[in-house]
Amino acid sequence: MTERENPRRSPPSRDVGAPRSSPSRIFVTGTDTGVGKTVVSAALMLGLEALYWKPVQAGTKEPTDTEQVRSWTGLPSHRFLPEVYRLREPTSPHAAAELEGVEIDPARILRSAPPAGGAPIVIEGAGGLMVPLNAQSLLIDVVVGMAVPTVLVARTTLGTLNHTLLSLSEMRRREIPILGVILNGDAHESNRRAIEHYGNTQVLGRIPRLDPIDRQGLLRAFGALDWEEIEGSP
């Protein structure tokens, strides 16, 4: 059965609750750890002239995500907000916190969130939406509490359809405004079409593998995204 023949599906459309203009706050989440959230966040930060905030950082032995984005973009320190939790071990936030005798408090993260209406800000999550923060709370609970329009970053490779569609389904169940999906990796057009069709959302574009990752490459990557689909929506 083709897309046209399938009566259960409609063409990709803006999700209910998604903004009609480029939002002042954007949450960047992913289908998995290492899927490319930090690269996408850096590209959005440059393209939107935004601030960057990573509320929960797990892993400080290598450059942190904040340090990495600052290195790639060359932007000054005042464009980067401090982490609420900065944990040493590069593991799930709840596990990293337990190792240090710390309990992550989602309410503290929400209290630390900059108010809407100021300078644009890109907020990068830790891992995927269902990553535990403590014994009771998941990262998605923070996203819901922030009520921030969200970009989902996904791989282009085998397995991405299941991960992406499950993430989109849970985002809709929790009524998170979805801006769209950004793919990260080599071109795979059939996966892109399937995500738009079965996920009933927009794929805003694909960021290829950048080597090196630098300011110019990130700006080119942002320029290739269909961001006008957000800014120019009726």
Residue count of the chain:
234
In the Cβ-directed half-sphere of 129, how many Cα atoms lie within 13 Å? Answer: 28
Annotation marks residue 37 as catalytic: no
Residue 29 carries which DSSP code?
E
Count of CA atoms in the C-beta half-sphere (13 A) of 20: 1
Nearest-10 Cα torsion for 201, 202, 208, 212: -100
35-58 CB burial, b ≥16 within 10 A, e <16: bbbbbbbbbbbbbbebbbbbbbbb
Is 71 strand, coil or helix? helix
In what side-by-side order are the strands of the sheet with 25-30?
80-81, 51-53, 121-128, 25-30, 150-155, 178-184, 203-207
What φ, ψ does residue 193 adopt, rounded to 5°? -65, -40
Rounded to whole angstroms, the Cα distance separating 69 from 75 reads 9
- What end-to-end distance do the CA atoms of the chain give, in Å? 32
Q: Which two tokens stand for residue 189?
A: 């057009």
- Active-site pick, 14, 37, 54, 70: 54
Q: Would you name the residues annotated as active-site residues?
A: 54
